[in-house]
Amino acid sequence: MSSFAKGTVRIDVRKDTASNWASANPILKAGEFGYETDTGILKIGDGSSGWDQLPGIAWEGGSMNIQNFRSDGDITFKVNDGGVATEVMRLDGDVSALKMASGKQIQYGAAEEYISGDGSDLTIASGGHLDLTVTGHIDMNTSAVGFTQEEPTFDATDTIITFSTKGNKQKLTLTDNCADIHFKFPALSGNFICVLLQDGTGGRTVGNWKTKDSEGNAGNNGGDTAGAVRWLGGVTPANTETANRADIASFYWDADNEIAYGTYSKGF
* Residue 151 clears pLDDT 90, i.e. is over it: yes
Q: Are residues 88 and 45 in the same domain?
A: no
Domain contains 143: no
Q: Are residues 202 and 246 in the same domain?
A: yes
pLDDT-derived band at 62, boundaries 50, 70, 90: confident
Q: What is the pLDDT of residues 4-30, one digit of tens each?
A: 566 777 888 999 999 999 999 999 999
pLDDT of residue 1: 52
pTM, whole model, 2 decimals? Answer: 0.73
pLDDT of residue 111: 63
Core vs surface per residue 71-101: b (16+ CB within 10 A) or e: eeeeeeeeeeeeeeeeeeebbebeeeeeebe
pLDDT of residue 11: 83
Q: Are residues 83 and 58 in the same domain?
A: no
Domain contains 47: yes
> Which residue range(s) make up the domain with 249?
158-265
pLDDT of residue 191: 98
The count of domains in the chain is: 3
Q: What is the share, in percent, of the chain residues with pLDDT greater than 90? A: 66
Domain contains 188: yes
pLDDT-derived band at 3, boundaries 50, 70, 90: low
Residue 151 burial (CB count, 10 A) = 12
pLDDT-derived band at 198, boundaries 50, 70, 90: very high
pLDDT of residue 70: 73
Domain contains 145: no
pLDDT-derived band at 175, boundaries 50, 70, 90: very high
* Residue 184 clears pLDDT 80, i.e. is over it: yes
Task: Tell me which range, 1-5, 28-32, 97-101, is most confidently predicted by mean pLDDT.
Answer: 28-32
Give CA–CA dist 85/96, Å, rounded. Answer: 24
* Residue 224 clears pLDDT 80, i.e. is over it: yes
Domain contains 206: yes
Query: Whole-number mean pLDDT of the chain?
Result: 91
* Residue 96 clears pLDDT 80, i.e. is over it: yes
Q: Are residues 255 and 173 in the same domain?
A: yes
